[in-house]
Amino acid sequence: MGNTTYRVGVDIGGTFTDAVVTTGIGEMYIFKSPSTPADSSIGLFDCLQKAAVQFDLTLGEFLSRVELLVHGTTVATNTMLQYSGAKTGLITTKGFRDALEMRRAHKENIWDLSLAPPPPIIPRYLRLAVPERINYAGEPIVPLDEEETRRVVNQLKGEGVQAIAVCTLFSFLNPVHERRIRDIVLEEFPGCFVSISSEILPQVREYERTSTTAVNAYVGPVLGRYLSNLQDKLSAAGLQRDVLITQSNGGVMSAGYALGHGAATLLSGPSAGAVGGMFFANQLGMPDLIVMDMGGTSYDVSLIKDGLYAMTTEGEIARYRVALPMIDIHTIGAGGGSIAYLDEGNMLKVGPQSAGADPGPACYGRGGTQPTTTDANVVLGFINPDFYLGGEFPIDPEAAAEAIRLEIAEPLGLDTVDASYGIFRLVNNNMADATRVVSVEKGHDPRDFALVAAGGAGAIHASKIAESVGIPKVVVPKTASVFCALGMLESDLKHDYVRTMWAPFDALDLDELNRVFDEMEGIARRTLDAEGIPPERVEVERGMDPRYLGQHHEVPVTVPDGPITQETLAEIGRRFHEAHERLYLYSEPESPLESINVRVTATGSIPKTPLASWPAGGADASHAIKGTRPVYFGAWLETPIYDGDRLLAGNRIEGPAIVEEVTTTIVVFPNDLAQVDRLGNVVIHVNAKGV
């Protein structure tokens, strides 16, 4: 293909590794390979090798022409979920070594009195304290005991720790002691991974700051080894660029920056789906979308309102609070590999346990014996066993039926088909409940949104989820099965900065406030400059976290450009009251406000890949029918099967119907109507047949 250059997005999921490759002239190619949990880079290289073959190049030739490679990694996420991080120590202020375990007395289920705390990522014997104290005004009132600090560091070194988190009181106001502790750690223990809270999360709230810093230290060495090895392997294979890593905030960062900020990658893959949704909303002219991504192990759902995704600083991973800015994504264990089982009361359950990629669902023929969502979909006729991944991946329907018969059907006195349909309906209900969390529970009416069905399994279930929640329209992207990988190519470099400025609005020092904003913006611009972003491609957005005086929770709002004046504060207050009204259905404009934190988000834009128009045709889609087969929709119906690659823009399909594409299957239920739009997406109008 001449001297064509390529842009590559790679998302490593629980079952499949997805890659999207775009060319300099806007062509788009999709590649999938089974994920390889023992070494996730193997699945990544498998996709890259397939891409090289597609373009009739060697792997080295292909990589030498890659101008952008963005990678979503689950290394940090899996490290936390499996509690398999580095042996980590914590150094804190004397008298406060138990803040991490006390957790503000927070329990995920307040009704379960026997709920145990999560496994300690830093056990108590590795949480050590040193004499020092910064007061509430940021003034040192007890000097750091450097001799004791050296003793503590050597004690942790003797215990064999690989990482040390440092979190002292009020370091967000004055980091002098934390920085000195880090210096001492590196003097006494060269090569140790050190994470200090005044750099990871310099804001008020001791538990959140300690937890976030501890998580960063816990995952840092594991992620660092993975990224360093990956970059070395790719460079040796011919890549001439640095790999970019997706962040939880919807942006990307250089692999070098990620080495010290592992906690920022905890939603690395799912966040790209929300970014893809925002890009998709702009391309479709549909500003209000709910984006669902159903892959092999999880169901991730987020909301796009007025073309923008929602952010939160109240995320948790493996029951540990991570207070970094991240896209508001709700995740449950519901995917194609989710295991169906009977609980102690003989009730049917699906997930959150997953068969993963190895051994995978029973129908994969890799030794899996437990029934999964995918097995149920095979039994019901939704999935063509001869066309899974375009026929590249063989499916064993008899193994799927046998697993469901033995584990579910016979114990419940059902036949295999009824048991499979029960699995299908139950997982749909679970996903519908998750969809309500990001819509109804956040004050949004689902009837005002369209549901974007992403992920390899999403388009099988999307219509029933939409029907349950009340969403009238489902959009299945042409790139549904690799939506997160596509979103990575539409992401920008992005960094978030926060400082605590806790004061009533009428007592804020505006000179100091403007100085802090300017300082954070300067750091942000220098960071992006070091990552190769020219000044004209940098955008800076300012924010503030106000609340009513004495209130417990704050509500983030954007801050207008320009110097902060009394008039600016009045506008910030107006925005706060408006946001509070939307979230909680009331506001109190007469009540005084206080500032908690101020924020800066710096974005370095990366050129985007526009979606190409799809060839147009008339309403008649019969030319794309490649056969029929019986499919179970509560009863067996002989159902037309459409070749997705032969459909044209404007084609209409009445349910029941199945649209088969190489990497996904779209189910149009009996009462639905579907139409192909100008970008090749299949738009399903739920229960619109005969209306």
The predicted-structure confidence for 520-552, as pLDDT tens digits, reads as follows 999 999 999 988 889 999 999 999 999 999 888
Q: State mean pLDDT over 238-259.
A: 88
**Per mean pLDDT, which range of 131-140, 602-611, 666-675 is the poorest?**
602-611
What integer pLDDT is reported at residue 276 of this predicted model?
Answer: 84
Q: State mean pLDDT over 281-303.
A: 86
Q: Which residues of 392-409 are buried (b: 16+ CB within 10 A; e: fewer)?
A: ebebbbebbbbbbbebbb
Mean of pLDDT over the chain: 90
Residue 151 has pLDDT above 70, yes or no: yes
Length of the chain: 691
Residue 1 has pLDDT above 60, yes or no: no
The rounded distance, in Å, linking the Cα atoms of 571 and 591 is: 15
Q: 108 falls in which pLDDT band (50, 70, 90)?
A: confident
Residue 266 has pLDDT above 90, yes or no: no
Residue 589 has pLDDT above 60, yes or no: yes
How large is the angle between the packed helices 416-438 and 397-404, nearest 10 degrees? 90
Q: State mean pLDDT over 196-217.
A: 93
- Contacts with 10 (C-beta within 8 Å, 6 or more apart), sequence order: 17, 18, 19, 44, 47, 48, 69, 70, 71, 72, 485, 488
Bridge-partner residues for 101, per DSSP?
none
Q: 2 falls in which pLDDT band (50, 70, 90)?
A: low
Contact (CB, 8 A) for 600 and 521: yes
8-state DSSP, 362 = G
Most confident range, picked from 36-40, 73-77, 461-465: 461-465
Contact (CB, 8 A) for 180 and 151: no
Residue 463 has pLDDT above 90, yes or no: yes
- Contacts with 469 (C-beta within 8 Å, 6 or more apart), sequence order: 432, 435, 436, 439, 440, 446, 451
The rounded distance, in Å, linking the Cα atoms of 244 and 257 is: 9
Contact (CB, 8 A) for 555 and 579: yes
Tokens of 24: 């300099």
Q: State mean pLDDT over 475-497.
A: 86
The rounded distance, in Å, linking the Cα atoms of 121 and 86 is: 9
Q: State mean pLDDT over 10-35.
A: 82
The CA–CA distances, whole Å, from 555 to 172, 314, 397, 510, 516 equal 20, 12, 51, 20, 20
Of 403, 390, 395, residue with least CA distance to 378: 395
Contact (CB, 8 A) for 269 and 72: yes
Gyration radius of the chain over CA positions = 26
Of 355, 334, 313, residue with least CA distance to 435: 334
The rounded distance, in Å, linking the Cα atoms of 427 and 432 is: 9
Tokens of 546: 């106000």
204 in helix, strand or coil? coil
| pTM for this model (two decimals) | 0.82
What integer pLDDT is reported at residue 690 of this predicted model?
Answer: 63
What integer pLDDT is reported at residue 691 of this predicted model?
Answer: 59
The rounded distance, in Å, linking the Cα atoms of 123 and 165 is: 13
- In degrees rounded to 5, what are phi and psi of residue 224? -60, -45
Tokens of 2: 């001449």
Express each pLDDT in 377-396 by its tens digit: 999 999 999 888 777 788 89
Specify the residue for token string 């005086």: 549
Q: State mean pLDDT over 17-21.
A: 88
What integer pLDDT is reported at residue 285 of this predicted model?
Answer: 85
Residue 282 has pLDDT above 90, yes or no: no
Q: State mean pLDDT over 567-571.
A: 94
Express each pLDDT in 52-71 by its tens digit: 999 999 999 999 999 989 99
The rounded distance, in Å, linking the Cα atoms of 216 and 264 is: 8
- Contacts with 483 (C-beta within 8 Å, 6 or more apart), sequence order: 273, 276, 291, 293, 452, 454, 455, 477
The CA–CA distances, whole Å, from 561 to 558, 569, 600, 690 equal 9, 12, 12, 52
Supply the DSSP string of 424-472, one letter for each residue: HHHHHHHHHHHHHHHTGGGT--GGG-EEEEESTTHHHHHHHHHHHHT--
Residue type at position 69: L
The CA–CA distances, whole Å, from 454 to 126, 461, 653 equal 43, 11, 20
Most confident range, picked from 170-184, 392-406, 486-500: 170-184
Contact (CB, 8 A) for 686 and 672: yes
Question: 475: part of which helix (H) or strand (E)?
Answer: strand 473-476
The rounded distance, in Å, linking the Cα atoms of 603 and 306 is: 19
Specify the residue for token string 């009416």: 445
Q: 354 falls in which pLDDT band (50, 70, 90)?
A: confident
The rounded distance, in Å, linking the Cα atoms of 336 and 62 is: 32
- Contacts with 581 (C-beta within 8 Å, 6 or more apart), sequence order: 587
What integer pLDDT is reported at residue 488 of this predicted model?
Answer: 87
Specify the residue for token string 């210096």: 183
What integer pLDDT is reported at residue 139 of this predicted model?
Answer: 95
Q: State mean pLDDT over 251-257.
A: 85
Q: State mean pLDDT over 438-456.
A: 90
Contact (CB, 8 A) for 362 and 369: yes
Q: State mean pLDDT over 483-493.
A: 85
- Contacts with 316 (C-beta within 8 Å, 6 or more apart), sequence order: 322
The rounded distance, in Å, linking the Cα atoms of 543 and 600 is: 6
